[in-house]
Amino acid sequence: MGKKLLFLLLISLLACDMPEEKKATDYRNTALSIEDRISILIGQMTVEEKVSQMRYDSPSIERLGIPAYNWWNECLHGVGRAGEATVFPQAIGMGAMWDTTLMHQIAVAISDEARAKHHYFTTLNQRGIYQGLTFWTPNINIFRDPRWGRGQETYGEDPYLTGRLAVNFINGLQGDDPNYFKVIATSKHFAVHSGPEKTRHSDNYQASERDLWQTYLPAFEATVKEANVQSVMCAYNRFRDEACCGSNTLLDSILRNEWNFNGYVVSDCWAINDFYVEGRHGVSANQQEAAALAVKRGTDLNCGDTFFPGLVDAVKNGILPEKNLDEALARLLRAKIKLGLFDPPEEVPYTKIPYSVVRSQSHLDLALEASRKAMVLLKNENNALPLSKDLKKVAVIGPNAHDEQVLLGNYHGTSTNYATPLEAIQEKLPNAEVTYAIGSPIAAGFPLLTPIPSEYLSSDGKAGLTGTYYANMDWSGEPAMTQQDAELDFKWTEKTPVTEIMADTFAVQWRGQLMVPETGSYRLGLKACNFGRFTLNDSTYFEFDNVHHPITRYIDLDLKKGESYTISIDFYSYHTDPQLHLLWAKLGEDYLSPALAAAQQAETVILCLGLSPDIEGEEMPIVLDGFDKGDRTKLSLPQPQIDLMKKIKALGKPTILVLLNGSAVAVNWADQNMPAILEAWYPGEFGGQAIADVLFGDYNPSGKLPVTFYQTVEDLPAFTDYNMDNRTYKYFRGEVLYPFGHGLSYTQFEYGDLQLPAKINPGESIEVSVTVSNTGAVAGDEIVQLYITDSGDNEASPIRSLKRFARVSLDAGESKTVSFNLSPKEYASMQLDGTILIQPGELTVSIGGKQPGFIGNADAITTQVVSGKITVGGETLKLAMK
């Protein structure tokens, strides 16, 4: 008899021997209904215990057999901050794929790795941050303004595209088992939230009913109603005077009552503190009032420290009825039970996923496919691309040519094998001379930091620094080991250096001397997570603690050649992705001359420019020309990169521009002067390979823009204005650089035989079909896009709206027919007050590989658009409000 069968028999016998009274009162009894189990458990808990389970870092309750659980986990484009994981393109790059099937496959892979990691951690009795099964992903806010630094985390500016991608992503994460969730996904940030970062804790946004229901809510509604998402994160800001995490309108009226959401609401981190902290929302007087308001209005889980002890005090002081506590806790316990956290592992199918799935070959293949499909060819004048592999001398130049960080974006996992554009191009051209130069800093005053080489560090006459390692977090007691570390450039992904157990607690102190190769001003930086402290000559220049992801702190100092500086680095780690990097850059370096020299000797120059997650992202300390606390104040490339580009182009060499960035960039000069431009986003661990594959013709690009590329920030309304007028492709009436939906190919597509009804009555569905043909010489994928324009006089109507899309693969010479069906609500128009009407008049239906109506450099002839008109007869039909 097998061990598993014996185990199951033993469990069965124990269950038979268990007294009926015990079985009826044990919340772990899987024979009981979920609601009975919840009721039993809540009935045994004190107020303090209940509240303790409503904080993100829930402690154990040993007397009830409840283990500790941390609700905070991330998987925006791969399992984040939990050791090695497959790293897919940043979300905005996945948006550019326009591929719902691949989104689902990616999410299945991510949730496989998530489950495997969780069960591995539990075998080590590790239950901390980034080790659970509740993931605060996806970010489905609408990228309404390119200045928003966190827009890179979204799927773009269109509610329909965002909703389709999010629904498939969430379905892949949460799984298809009828009894258990694989993991729990979180739709965030609810709602009307997309910057500015620096004022998000105090801003109060307004929007019309039309904009609320036509732009800000559709993707959330789709994830609730279609994907059954089990968690929603409320936003930092206020909406119509209510803090989003205490909003009766958003959480009660819309989310629970109108949409029948059956999951739990989690606050954004420390968002409830904003209710009462001076200078922020001012909707509560103190902690207990803020906690009570949040729970009354529908927030169940607190990422932060407001609920405990705030909720305990609120209940005991009569501000909050205990039944409100019980209702919120019940939602959280339901999630835990549905994840199988209280159940025998053999009853939960997902516990069988082996750890070997993490970074398995099939997952890496998916990541490469995603990186390739994320590539958007913006311009290709006179077929400048693809390049020949017979090139003998190529210069790869730019601050993004050889920097791992720009492959990743934010909220990323950790790969063991990044491919930068430089490395991938070198591999693609093994017989060519491929030279590299940085060319410019990423932005003025922000040089590229690199690890300090061992020859400039010393200790006891040896190169490098002496590292003293401890098996604790306070550098106490006898060291576990001491060793000489040549460079401080560490990622401890699979095991810690002390106990060799993944994600175990440890601390290090490095001591030694620093010297510089020449006198000058230097930027010295420490990139680390958890805790880091940097001291030079007994002066501590910076210290940071409780940092959940790697960040860089730095100081600019004048240092002299020949002098020795005493350097001390203190570090400790307490969760799953410890990293530490000691970095530097000499300020005022001449990056340009080596770049021009390399370009002068080359047959072709590949410029890798753009932005960086070091300067655009979530609530950052960075203030530079064009950048403000994570957001952008300009849409153009930073000036040093523009200067570099112009000087390289002046050499007369064939030059290709590759952009790596998380938001739209106004590359107006490049559009007029560069023969080819490839948008790569933050493309994931295989981003460099995907770039090289497209540049040299091993992959035919098929990505389409999920955002509009504007020409200047002056064309946009104020950043804090949440009305959609003159924003996104749906409402912007100016001239754009590259339109939403744009993307070129190495082949050509033609559309014909458009079939649609000449006339319909209000309330009838619309059947549409079109034939798309690959008339070029190579196979390719086409993104077939269907837009509707309401020709009526409703001033609230968008210029056009995306209603359907499909990815179609076509061999050279092949044709396929694509069909769509539109429901009445999808061609109806929404008034400013939210009323939905179908009015007599004309509808224009346009189908093609792009939006209709755009010509110029952005519109190389690789695809078409065909249009037809439908007459809507009869009388005005009112469908609904909202």
Give pLDDT tens digits for 525-561.
999 999 999 999 999 999 999 888 888 999 999 999 9
- Tell me the C-alpha distance between 769 and 821, whole Å: 9
Give yes or no: 625 in active site: no
Per-residue pLDDT, 882: 64
The active-site residue out of 616, 631, 693, 790 is 616
When the pLDDT of each residue in the chain is averaged and rounded to a whole number, the result is: 95
Q: Give backbone dihedrals phi and psi of 50, rounded to 5 degrees, phi first.
A: -60, -50
Model confidence pLDDT, tens digit, residues 473-490: 999 999 999 999 999 999
So where are the chain's domains? 1-25, 33-61+190-338, 375-447+597-731, 450-586, 749-881
Query: Which CATH code is given to the segment(s) 450-586?
Result: 2.60.120.380
Q: Measured between alpha carbons, how far is 849 from 786 in angstroms, rounded to an integer? A: 9
CATH superfamily of domain region 33-61+190-338: Glycoside hydrolase, family 3, N-terminal domain (3.20.20.300)
Q: What is the pLDDT of residues 47-78, one digit of tens each?
A: 999 999 999 999 999 999 999 999 999 999 99
With a pLDDT cut of 90, the percent of the chain lying above it is 91
Per-residue pLDDT, averaged over 756-769, amounts to 96
pLDDT at 4 exceeding the cut of 80: no
Q: What is the pLDDT of residues 133-175, one digit of tens each?
A: 999 999 999 999 999 999 999 999 999 999 999 999 999 999 9
Residue 858 has pLDDT above 70, yes or no: no
* CA–CA dist 710, 131 (Å, integer): 41
How are strands ordered across the β-sheet holding 393-397? 376-380, 676-679, 655-660, 604-610, 393-397, 433-437
8: pLDDT confidence band, cut at 50, 70 and 90?
very low
- Residue (of 175, 1, 301, 159) closest to 740 by Cα position: 159
pLDDT of residue 368: 98
Structure confidence by residue, pLDDT tens digits, 219-248? 999 999 999 999 999 999 999 999 999 999
Annotated active-site residue 614? The verdict is no
The amino acid at 635: L
Give the list of residues 6+ apart from residue 95 with CB closer than 8 angstroms, or none. Answer: 154, 155, 156, 161, 162, 165, 706
Write down the catalytic residue from 268, 300, 343, 614.
268
Sign, CA torsion 170/172/175/176: positive
Q: What is the DSSP letter of 329?
A: H
The CATH code for residues 749-881 is 2.60.40.10
CA dist., res. 237 & res. 151, Å (int): 16
Residue (of 602, 279, 282) closest to 432 by Cα position: 602
The structural architecture, per CATH, of the domain 375-447+597-731 is 3-Layer(aba) Sandwich (3.40)
State yes or no: pLDDT of 452 exceeds 60: yes
**8 A C-beta contact, residue 80 and residue 99:** no
Average pLDDT over residues 405-423: 96
